[in-house]
Homo-oligomer: A and B are copies of this chain.
């Protein structure tokens, strides 16, 4: 059987009892390193604290490996219990549908252990989850490549008064241009888009498109390291948030739509306004 187990957002303590029970009985344990590998994955002591907790050796599987070794993972899952660990939830911001489809096509049983995802954890800021429109992704711009399909989606959401979650680009294991030319596998250092860069790009697109979808004064909420001990959440205008240092990744951003009074009351707690902003935020929201 293939167990797809959500690990939650913070650290090794965010697995559920059900998830822990499953992973402990699995013969082989893989962990995805596609996207949100920061909190757990990159730091080798992150992995070893997981291994200690589970009493198992973990094979970290990046996208390439999952694609290349899917057959092996699935053939193991046919005859034994295999865990595939996913930061957040299995079907949250990152989907693992492909592996599931392949498993089910082969008649391998799949069980999912749910956990929190950024898609629901953003509820903590007080904006109601059912009042979000389509989620958008903001990719890193280059000098010559500025894809802006998110703009029209934000426009539609805002037209309906809905909030918009912006997921910010993560570049991990991108082959370097040099290595592509030389035919060797070398990778760029990982890059994670900050809230500041996201807002700059958003405003750049607004300037190009000129549909007045949002501007400097549009209310947003910035989230950094959601679910970790150092979680930081600040509400403010694009102009305000653009100059705040949210610290290390991962970041995401919500563009606030039409608000209800209850939502406003909660948002107020996250608004800046004191000198001692970060301290304030950590106390309130951590």
**Chain A residues near B (Cβ < 8 Å):** 6, 8-10, 12-18, 20-21, 89-93, 95, 97-98, 100-101, 104, 109-112, 114-117, 119-121, 123-124, 126, 128-137, 156, 160, 162, 165, 167, 227, 262-263, 265-266, 269, 283-284, 286
Q: Bound complex: CA of A18 vs CA of B53, how far in Å?
A: 13
Q: How far is the CB of A266 from chain B (nearest CB, A)?
A: 5
Main secondary structure of the interface of A (DSSP, over half): mixed
- Give the residue name and chain of the B residue nearest to A265 (CB): B101
Contacts of A136 in B (CB 8 A): 130
Per CB-CB distance, the 7 closest pairs between chain A and chain B, nearest first, are: A91-B123, A130-B135, A114-B116, A13-B18, A117-B120, A120-B120, A13-B17
Q: Bound complex: CA of A136 vs CA of B17, how far in Å?
A: 32
A130 near B93: Cβ-Cβ < 8 Å: yes
Q: Which residue of B92, B133, B262 contacts A97 across the interface (Cβ within 8 Å)?
A: B262
In the complex with contacts A9-B114, A266-B100, A133-B130 CB distance below 8 A: no
Q: Bound complex: CA of A160 vs CA of B158, how far in Å?
A: 13
Contacts of A12 in B (CB 8 A): 17
In the complex with contacts A93-B130, A128-B95, A16-B104 CB distance below 8 A: no
Contacts of A167 in B (CB 8 A): 130
- Give the residue name and chain of the B residue nearest to A165 (CB): B130
B120 near A134: Cβ-Cβ < 8 Å: no
Q: Which residue of B132, B156, B162, B284 contacts A104 across the interface (Cβ within 8 Å)?
A: B284
Q: How far is the CB of A25 from chain B (nearest CB, A)?
A: 13
Q: Which residue of B20, B111, B121, B134 contacts A114 across the interface (Cβ within 8 Å)?
A: B121
Q: How far is the CB of A229 from chain B (nearest CB, A)?
A: 10
B126 near A97: Cβ-Cβ < 8 Å: yes
14 pairs of residues in contact across A and B, judged by CB atoms under 8 Å: A8-B18, A8-B115, A13-B18, A90-B123, A92-B129, A95-B123, A101-B126, A101-B269, A104-B269, A109-B283, A112-B124, A114-B116, A130-B136, A134-B162
Contacts of A124 in B (CB 8 A): 90-91, 112, 114
A89 near B121: Cβ-Cβ < 8 Å: yes
Q: Bound complex: CA of A225 vs CA of B56, how far in Å?
A: 31
A16 near B8: Cβ-Cβ < 8 Å: yes
Given contact pairs A10-B18, A97-B265, enumerate 16 new A-B contacts (beta carbons under 8 Å): A14-B17, A17-B20, A90-B123, A91-B124, A91-B129, A92-B129, A93-B129, A95-B123, A95-B128, A101-B126, A114-B120, A114-B124, A115-B115, A120-B120, A130-B134, A133-B162
A120 near B89: Cβ-Cβ < 8 Å: yes
